[in-house]
Amino acid sequence: MNAIITNLKNSWLKYATIGISGLLAAFIVTLLVLVVTRPTLEGLITSITSSEIHFAIMLSLVTALVSTVLCIVIGVPAAYALARYSFRGKNVVNAVLDMPLALPPLVAGLGLLLLFGTTGFGLGLADIGIEFVFTPLGIIAAQFFVNIPFMLRIMRSTFESINPRYEYVAKTLGCSDIQALWRVTLPMSSSGLLAGSVITLAKGIGEFGAALLLAGAIKWKTETLPIALFLNMSCGNLDMAISAATILIIISITALYVFERYGGASRF
């Protein structure tokens, strides 16, 4: 009798699965701790306060901010259309817009490089001074391209979760279509917008592959945090590489926290 109850309490499956998830969490924490504790505190501080890392932080922040704003400006209207209207080819558009999610960033970067470096469109832009290849503008373009699906998916599910009748009511209360969107739907989707922005911002700061191909890894020019990590690592400058990594870890943890805290309703 007692043995049976003990068997019931000690579910084999329960302990095994809990054990696996615990091990996985420990594995991740170990990696992060290894990175952060590798250099001496002194060395870390010196590196973090170095002007090269400062440049990398600023470049990462500015490019990520600009690409996030672009993601909002272009992603929010597109997500709204996909959530609210039915139109011919909607499924195809949906699938294509999700493509960059599955695409390796290097491939995306190659495509961008070909677009801006070889076509008339790209060369024309370069002629009037808007140059993407091996410039910070290229970093922005790469971040935008890789991150836009995240903004799209989060905002699409946010808009889908808002009953369109809120807009109907607003329209009967004197709003045009755009006013109803501006005064009702957008404020109601603020947490989704925040979650989407935080994800694109954090991912933008960490963007490497696509940016590497389009903007290159040029010290003091296109050297974002991940590029700084890559450059310093390749020439054995471990302290500098790790300080860049540490900052990236801090940014990721902060972003994750904000996302979990405010983006609860959005799934993507």
Partner 1 sequence: MLQIQNLSKDMGEFVLRNVTLDIQQGEYLVIIGPTGAGKTILLETIAGIYPPDSGTIILDGKDITGLPPKERNICVVYQDYMLFPHLTVEDNIGFGLVSKKMPKDEIKKRVTDAAKLLSIDQLLHRYPDTLSGGEQQRAAIARAIVMEPVLLLLDEPLSALDGQTREMLRKELRRLHKLFNITIVHVTHNFEEVFALADRVAVMNGGDIIQCGPPDEVFRKPNCAFIANFTSVENIFRGVCTSQDGASEIQVNGLTITSSTCKGNGEVYATVRPEDILLSREPIQSSARNSFKGTITDIVNNGMVIRVTIDTGIPFVSVLTRQGFDCMDLKEGEGLYLTFKASAVHIF
Question: What is the contact surface with partner 1 in residues (CB under 8 A)?
Answer: 163, 165-166, 168-176, 179, 183-184, 187-188, 190
| Residue among 9 and 165 whose Cβ is closer to partner 1 | 165
- Spatial distance between the Cα atoms of 180 and 164, rounded to a whole number of angstroms: 10
CB atoms within 10 A of CB 34: 10
Nearer to partner 1, 38 or 171 (CB): 171
Nearest distance, CB of residue 36 and partner 1, angstroms:
40
Residue 127 or 177: the one with the smaller Cβ distance to partner 1 is 177
Q: Which is nearer to partner 1, 46 or 179 (CB)?
A: 179
Q: Tokens for 21, please give them.
A: 């998830």
Q: Closer CB to partner 1, residue 171 or residue 221?
A: 171
Alpha carbon distance 149, 234 (integer Å): 31
| Torsion over CA: 74, 85, 108, 110 (sign) | negative
Q: Which is nearer to partner 1, 99 or 173 (CB)?
A: 173
- Cα dihedral sign for 159, 160, 161, 163? positive
Helices within the chain (DSSP H only): 2-9, 12-37, 41-48, 51-84, 90-102, 105-118, 120-127, 136-160, 165-172, 177-180, 186-188, 190-206, 209-215, 225-234, 238-262
User: Alpha helices, DSSP H only, in 38-119?
Assistant: 41-48, 51-84, 90-102, 105-118
CB of 259 to partner 1, least distance (A): 20
Report, in Å, the least distance between residue 172 CB and partner 1.
Answer: 5
Q: Residue 82 CB, nearest distance to partner 1 (Å)?
A: 19
- Closest approach of partner 1 to the CB of residue 72, in Å: 19
Q: Minimum distance between the CB of residue 255 and partner 1, rounded to whole angstroms?
A: 24
State the Cα–Cα distance between residues 106 and 257, nearest whole angstrom: 28
CB atoms within 10 A of CB 153: 22
